[in-house]
Structure 1
Amino acid sequence: MPRTKKDPPAQLEDMPNIGKAIAAHLRCIGIVRPDQLARREPIAIYRELSKVLGHRLDPCVLYTLLSVKHFLDGGEALPWWNFTAEGKIILKLSDKGSQP
């Protein structure tokens, strides 16, 4: 059943697919509440996390962020792997855009 506007998640871990590890990573870049996550693009968060942590993260982190964005935009809670195809396209386009 779709979530309603009246019951937004209170903590990062209240969102689908966000566990302790990803929540801790998000807090490292200043995202401590779901509403902060809702205002940012998943690829930008993924890139910032990779930079701060000093290595490129597994793409499933991007897929997770895409699933959370979908949820926060009013969609149903879906498994992160449902966003694999979309994430691969975003990564491919993003990688092309960052090459000289």
Structure 2
Amino acid sequence: MNPSKVDRNRLVKLTDLPNIGKAGAGDLELLGIHKPEQLIDKCPFAMYEQLCEITAAVHDPCVIDVYMSVTRFMAGEDPKPWWYYTDERKMRLKA
């Protein structure tokens, strides 16, 4: 869902989360995540690695940005577009 349309009080399904559409929800379900609250305390980098292992494919690293956006949102931050996290992801992967 577009971050500007997210309502924290109406989080029922994965597609109610910022930056998560049908495909993103499907990927989260592959990781065993079926409800938004299951994202609390998850590591976006570990989630990405697990997704790559499960699917036997290397996914676009921007998926990490999406995972950062939803895990941070579930930790209480305001919803932000996934690309807000791109620079942080690049710096952390470089380190």
The bucket for the TM-score relative to the shorter chain is 0.7 to 0.9
Identity of aligned residues (%): 39
TM-score (norm 2): 0.84
Partner of residue 45, structure 2: 43
**1:40 Cα offset (Å):** 1.1
Instruction: Structure 1: give runs of 5+ residues left out of the alignment.
Output: 94-100
Once the two structures are superposed, what CA deviation does each residue of 1:30-63 show, in whole Å capped at 9, x if it has no partner?
1111111123111110100011111111011000
Partner of residue 25, structure 2: 23
- Over the aligned positions, Cα root-mean-square deviation in angstroms equals 1.8
Instruction: Structure 2: give runs of 5+ residues left out of the alignment.
Output: none
2:66 pairs with 1:64 = yes
In terms of Rg, which structure is larger? 1
Total equivalences in the alignment:
90
Q: Which amino acid aligns with 2:86?
A: T
